[in-house]
Structure 1
Amino acid sequence: MTEPVAGKPEPRQPRELSNVHEFLDEVRLRPGMWVRRSSLQHLDSILVGYAVASEIHDTGEPFDFWHLGPFSQWLWKRLGMAYPSALGWAVEIERAAEAAGTQPVEMSFSLLDEFRAEPGGPARC
């Protein structure tokens, strides 16, 4: 087992997490483990599964990542899109990352940080 890096949080077990934003923080720590081939579409699928499980277990947790949910609505404005994309947030971030010459996963977490920082944005914990 490797030693923890000073200042970098230790990965946690899923049972230790209390919401989707904490889960995304775990994905950020080890994206290669969670996001196959750096495809945000895979991450989107994981998040849909998370939302379905939350509904089944009646957690009452708000979910920001549905296709036309709060994150998508914010993203369309942030990317300067006049109308919602039929392709979804994952594809649009992948397209924006390609145009900017950056990695999609890196861009997605940068955008997520902006979204979280918005007044009235989602509570992380």
Structure 2
Amino acid sequence: MTEAEMARRAPKQPAEMRDVYDLLEEVRLRPGMWVRDRSLQHLDSMLFGYRVALAVHGAEESFDFCNPGAQSAFDAWLARRMGEQTSLGWSTVIEREAEASGRSAIELFFELLDEFRAERDEQR
């Protein structure tokens, strides 16, 4: 979604969201409202809660950010993209990369998320 499209789009209500990616688009639109201090650690915690809610309610949804007992799809992709394996998790990897490059971690996350989704969609 381009910045111009984001500026024009009204926020969705939670009942209007279909999946985690709809939620993440709301976070992208207003990160300060959804994520305390725009911290990826807080976003990671929010997504973990989302994953737990899916399991508790038996909801079927593809979920790329948390895979109990194994590496998530996003973690695996990020390790290949960054050229390093780590057990720290995607939020820490991206926050460290953002700090080293003087960039906003949340903006870098969304850039990488767009890349991840584009590559995943190409493979399908």
- Aligned counterparts, 1:19-98, within 5 A: 19-66=19-66, 68-81=71-84, 83=85, 85-98=86-99
Partner AA of 1:61 in structure 2: E
How far apart, CA to CA, are the structure 1 residues paired with 2:15 and 2:95?
30
- Between the aligned partners of 2:56 and 2:123, the Cα distance in structure 1 is 22
| TM-score, structure 2 normalization | 0.87
SS of the counterpart of 2:60?
coil
Unaligned runs of 5+ in 1: 1-5
Where do 5+ consecutive residues of structure 2 fail to align?
A: none
| Residue identity (%) | 52
Higher relative contact order (CA 8 A, sep 6+): 1
Task: Give 4+ residue runs of structure 1 displaced > 6 Å after superposition.
Answer: none
TM-score w.r.t. the length of structure 1 is 0.86
Per-residue Cα deviation, 1:43-74 (whole angstroms, up to 9, x for no partner): 00000000111111111101100161100000
For 1:121 and 1:48, the matched residues in 2 are separated by 26
Paired letter, 2:79: W
Q: CA RMSD in A?
A: 1.9
Whole-Å separation in 1 of the counterparts to 2:40 and 2:120 = 26
Q: Measure, in 2, the Cα distance between the counterparts of 1:12 and 1:25.
A: 9
How big is the shift at 1:91?
0.5
> Does structure 2 conserve the Cα–Cα contact (< 8 Å) formed by 1:115 and 1:121?
no
Instruction: Give distance in 1, aligned partners of 2:32 and 2:94.
Output: 18
- Higher relative helix content: 2
Distance 1:105 1:122 in 2: 26
